[in-house]
């Protein structure tokens, strides 16, 4: 392939693109970067492009803050137009967001090969928009790059060996990014400057999944646990705009230290200096592991099953009691993080090498 359109739109995709686009720039492939605009705030989007030196998007579609159907539909329409004009040899999408499925569907209908990075992950919860997005994207992808062995197994179990597609286990591009930016983050992060956040004196929390934020009972239960944990150990939470809106809407009081969403450097430093991590994000579960921190996942399932199986990650759902018990358990535990679960930090290079030969 000589010419590839890459679709990004949401925060975790900027991190993944930072690793892959850098490799792409060192190859013979010409990458055309399209930002759907799904995430648009300075601290949800621009900061990642600036810090991680991701090439400026060639196109920004500025599509956001719409219902799932409207958002996905409008993205498809615009991506289709671009793809017809640009005639790429392939179109690459990351992960499981509305931007992912929009890009994949638009390309597939034009018979443009679809490349899916972070393929094969499953939560087995079809109520999550992300699960629908990832399953449908996998099914219409031509080259499926899987981060883990369990992702490959999921695809095989679903019969993907019978489809006309390539399945490749290449490792996790987020691990590449974590390794590459770790030292730089040390130097450039500002989150501890003039701040009341003190290293080692807090638990880092993020919370934004629709299944938690849009269900008042779940959100209340989780926040009640966080308020309790905050009193004991201190909680710092960079608050996603979705969560902020929902806390206001349901009139729920979060007593932890809330800050605006942070960029990648600050996030890495916040993880490294935390006691441990609590989240419902997919990416943060792994980033906790990369930086040798335990993680409580406030969801009923996780796609990163190997972390749970090896005892690095604890699934609590939105159960207040379970969250509190697990937090105390982790506080009193010594853990060792020596396994090689996500490859060797060359996942992006493998992707680009394979695409260059395809
Ligand atoms: C999306 C992805 C999710 C991913 C997450 C990372 C889907 C279905 N979900 O969820 O898989 O883990 O991104 O953060 O694609 N908003 C702002 N400013 C922004 C971005 C969003 O105010 O920069 C607001 C939106 O207007 C909306 C809400 O936050 O009201 C949610 O945004 P949305 O893009 O729908 O999904 P996320 O919850 O961010």
Q: Kindly state the average pLDDT of the residues 61-86.
A: 98
Mean pLDDT to the nearest integer, 29-44: 98
| 194 pLDDT above the threshold of 90 | no
Over residues 278-298, the mean pLDDT reads 97
When the pLDDT of each residue in the chain is averaged and rounded to a whole number, the result is: 97
Residues 317-327: tens digit of each pLDDT: 999 999 999 99
Q: What percent of the chain has pLDDT over 90?
A: 97
5: its two tokens: 């359109």
Among 39, 121, 237, residue to substitute to test ligand 1 (most atoms within 8 Å of Cβ): 39
The span from the CA of 82 to the CA of 80, in Å, is 5
Atom 31 (ligand 1): residue with closest C-alpha? 242
Q: Which atom of ligand 1 is nearest to the CA of 98?
A: 15
Report pLDDT for 195: 83
| Section 292-319 average pLDDT | 97
The rounded Å distance from CA 27 to ligand 1 centre is 32
Q: Is 127 exposed, middle or buried (0-12, 13-18, 19+ CB in 10 A)?
A: exposed
**338 Cα to the center of ligand 1, angstroms:** 33
Provide the strand spans (E) within 83-176.
Answer: 90-94, 114-117, 143-146, 166-169
pLDDT score for 338:
85
Question: 10 alpha carbon to ligand 1 midpoint, in Å?
Answer: 7
Beta-bridged to residue 204, according to DSSP, are 236, 277
Residue 177: is its pLDDT beyond 90? Answer: yes
Best of 42, 242, 285 to mutate for ligand 1, by most ligand atoms within 8 A of CB?
A: 242
Model's pTM, two decimal places?
A: 0.96
Gap between the Cα atoms of 126 and 124, Å rounded? 6
Q: Mean pLDDT over residues 190-197, rounded?
A: 91
CA 10 to ligand 1: nearest atom: 13
Q: Closest Cα to atom 32, ligand 1: which residue?
A: 242
If pLDDT is split at 50, 70 and 90, which confidence band does 42 have? very high
Q: Which residues line ligand 1 (CB under 6 A)?
A: 10-12, 38-41, 44-45, 64-65, 96-98, 129-130, 208, 241-242
Q: Tell me, what's the pLDDT at 334?
A: 87
- E strand intervals along 142-279: 143-146, 166-169, 203-205, 235-238, 257-259, 277-279
Among protein residues, the one with the nearest Cα to ligand 1's atom 7 is 97
Which residues are annotated as catalytic? 208
Residue 135 pLDDT level (bands cut at 50, 70, 90):
very high
- Average pLDDT, integer, range 201-220: 97
Return left, alpha or beta for 240; rule: phi > 0 is left, psi -120 to 50 is alpha, else beta.
beta
- What does the alpha-carbon distance between residue 205 and residue 212 come to, in Å, rounded to a whole number? 14
What's the confidence (pLDDT) of residue 138? 98
**pLDDT number for residue 149:** 96
Average pLDDT over residues 30-44: 98
pLDDT > 70: percent of the chain? 100
User: What per-residue confidence (pLDDT) applies to 236?
Assistant: 98
Taking the CA atoms of 94, 296, 218 and 255 in sequence, report the sign of the dihedral they define: negative
């Amino acid at each position: 392939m000589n010419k590839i359109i890459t679709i990004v739109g949401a925060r975790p995709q900027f991190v993944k693109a930072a690793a892959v686009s850098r490799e792409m720039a060192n190859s013979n492939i010409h990458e055309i970067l399209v930002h759907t605009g799904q995430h648009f705030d300075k601290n949800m989007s621009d900061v990642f492009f600036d810090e991680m030196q991701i090439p400026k998007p060639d196109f920004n579609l500025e599509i956001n803050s719409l219902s799932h159907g409207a958002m996905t539909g409008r993205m498809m329409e615009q991506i289709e137009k671009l793809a017809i004009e640009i005639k790429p040899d392939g179109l690459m999408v990351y992960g499981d967001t509305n931007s992912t499925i929009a890009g994949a569907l638009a390309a597939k209908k034009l018979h443009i090969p679809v490349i899916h990075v972070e393929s094969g992950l499953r939560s087995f919860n079809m109520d999550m928009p992300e699960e629908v997005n990832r399953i449908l994207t996998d099914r219409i992808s031509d080259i499926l790059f899987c981060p883990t062995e369990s992702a490959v197994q999921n695809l095989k179990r679903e019969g993907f060996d019978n489809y006309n597609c390539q399945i490749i286990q290449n490792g996790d591009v987020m691990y590449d990014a974590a390794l590459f930016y770790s030292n730089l983050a040390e130097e450039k992060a500002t989150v501890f400057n003039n701040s009341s956040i003190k290293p080692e004196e807090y638990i880092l929390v993020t919370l934004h999944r629709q299944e938690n934020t849009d269900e008042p009972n779940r959100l209340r239960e989780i926040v009640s646990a966080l308020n309790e944990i905050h009193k004991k150990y201190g909680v710092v939470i960079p608050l996603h705009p979705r969560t902020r809106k929902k806390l206001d809407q349901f009139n729920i009081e979060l007593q932890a230290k809330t800050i605006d969403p942070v960029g990648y450097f600050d996030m890495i430093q916040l993880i490294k200096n935390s006691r441990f991590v609590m989240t419902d994000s997919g990416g943060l579960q792994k980033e906790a592991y990369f930086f040798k921190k335990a993680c409580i996942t406030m969801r009923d399932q996780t796609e990163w099953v190997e972390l749970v199986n090896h005892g690095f990650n604890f699934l609590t759902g939105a159960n207040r009691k379970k969250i509190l018990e697990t937090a105390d358990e982790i506080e009193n535990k010594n853990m060792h993080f020596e396994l090689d679960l996500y490859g060797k930090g060359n996942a992006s290079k493998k992707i680009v090498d394979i695409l260059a030969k395809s």
